[in-house]
Structures are given as C-alpha cells and as structure tokens.
C-alpha cells in the first residue's frame, strides 16, 4: 500500500468553481524547472527542508500541520491528510509550483521556489478553484462577484492578479444596483465577461495526482 504523506491539507472545491476532473491525462509532463528548484520542492514535501511563511518565519510541513490544525480546528494532524497534488507553473516563469489539496478543510496551499527557498501561500476555497494547466483559475466571493485570476510572486510571496471579473452589487443604503464588469482591468459588458469565462472554463484542467512518496519520487527525481 502506498504511504500517503500527512501534511497540510487544502480543500479544492471543483464543483463550486468550474469543475475539473482529477484524472491525469495520458502523456502528462510537468512544466520545465531547474534541478535546484525541483530538489528544494521535493525536500519541502518530504519535510526535509523548511518553507518560508508569509511573515518570514520558517517551518517544516509536519510542524505546520500540527499548529495549523490545532489553531483553527483543535484537530489532530491526521485530520489534514493531503491526498493529491498538482504541478503547475502558476506565474509563467518556467518553474512549477506545487499545489496541495484535500477535501477536508477550506483552503489550499501553493509552494513556490524563489532564491534558494520554498515559500508557502494560503488560499481559501473560494479564491482558487478550477485550476487550469496554464495557471489561471476561478475565484468567487458571491454569485454576482467572481472572476478569473492568476498568481504572481514578489520576492517569493504570492499575490493575485484578476484577469476578468463580474461584479454586480447593491449600493449600500439604497436600492441602486451597481455593475462593474472588467476584462484586463478595462470596463466590459456582462455578456463579454461571461464569454470570457466560457473560454476560460473550456481550457485544459490541471491534472492531480495522489500525494505519495512514490509520486514525489516520480515527479521530483
């Protein structure tokens, strides 16, 4: 039986934000990456190398599992089994990021290599879904406020760039309905944004793989 690694989990709700199959396609190959980055990501996944948190602190994945789970849920680390992962070049720099996923809690985590370190970023269930092979994804803060975005990184730390967004809301304290739909930062009609979403949703979904020591050895030789 394959040994599933007990590391920090992340819910990936494919039904909520543009469904994607988790079955890997035949002949799938990861994006190119240098030996140093792949070695560092492998060591971080195996708990042999610390990653850098948003606040600059360094922590190993097993310890992060325990502290995260206890702080937010009072649960034991076993509750946060990550059962699959994806390898996607999220920012188009030619180096893959590792996206960790589980169905157990409402977050996913992205591991990014920069300057000899592995950085980790946390993303809620509604802020990164329907991940595509080109690194684009869907986000949602409500039925009438959602969009397509990408990740970018500054000195290792992740931030989100919205590519297209639908935003329909009621003005505070009145019955006025405000519509602010955009593509690439420019005003657009709702129909144009919906057409953009349709094209995005038709893109190839990122494949997901069981997070086992065997697969880590396979993708991080």
Q: How far is it, in rounded angstroms, from Cα 103 to Cα 54?
A: 24
Tens digits of residue pLDDT in 45-80: 888 999 998 889 998 876 555 454 444 444 444 444
Spell out where the chain has E strands: 51-52, 58-59, 84-88, 97-101, 107-114, 117-124, 137-142, 145-154, 157-170, 177-179, 182-183, 186-187, 209-210
Task: Report how far apart, in Å, the C-alpha atoms of 57 and of each of 20, 53, 113 are.
Answer: 34, 5, 16
| Helical H segments across 74-209, by residue range | 190-201
Most confidently modeled of 45-54, 176-185, 186-195? 186-195
Q: What is the pLDDT of residue 64?
A: 58
Average pLDDT of every residue of the chain:
78
Task: Report how far apart, in Å, the C-alpha atoms of 175 and of each of 146, 167, 179 are.
Answer: 21, 16, 13
Structure tokens at 31: 């994006």
Tens digits of residue pLDDT in 76-103: 444 445 568 899 999 998 899 999 876 5
Q: What is the pLDDT of residue 155?
A: 92
Q: Per-residue confidence at 8, pLDDT binned at 50, 70, 90?
A: very low
Pairing state of beta strands 117-124 and 51-52? parallel
3 state SS of 196: helix
**Spatial CB neighbours of 56, under 8 Å, sequence gap ≥ 6:** none
Task: Report how far apart, in Å, the C-alpha atoms of 43 and of each of 139, 214, 220, 221 are.
Answer: 30, 14, 9, 11
């Amino acid at each position: 039986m394959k040994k599933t690694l007990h590391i920090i989990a992340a819910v990936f709700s494919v039904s909520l934000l543009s469904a994607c199959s988790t079955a890997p396609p035949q002949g799938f190959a990861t994006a190119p990456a240098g030996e140093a980055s792949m070695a560092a990501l492998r060591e971080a996944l195996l708990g042999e190398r610390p990653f850098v948190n948003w606040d600059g602190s360094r922590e190993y994945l097993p310890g992060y599992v325990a502290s995260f789970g206890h702080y937010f849920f009072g649960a034991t680390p076993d509750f946060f089994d990550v059962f699959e992962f994806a390898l996607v070049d999220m920012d188009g720099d030619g180096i893959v990021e590792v996206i960790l996923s589980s169905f157990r809690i409402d977050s996913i985590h992205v591991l990014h290599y920069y300057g000899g370190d592995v950085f980790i970023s946390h993303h809620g269930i509604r802020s990164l879904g329907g991940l595509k092979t080109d690194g684009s994804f869907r986000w949602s803060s409500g039925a009438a406020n959602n969009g397509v975005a990408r990740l970018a990184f500054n000195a290792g730390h992740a931030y989100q760039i919205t590519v297209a967004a639908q935003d329909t809301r009621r003005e505070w304290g009145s019955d006025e309905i405000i519509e602010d739909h955009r593509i690439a930062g420019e005003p657009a009609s709702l129909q144009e944004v919906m057409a953009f979403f349709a094209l995005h949703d038709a893109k190839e979904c990122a494949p997901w793989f069981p997070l086992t020591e065997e697969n880590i050895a396979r993708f991080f030789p």
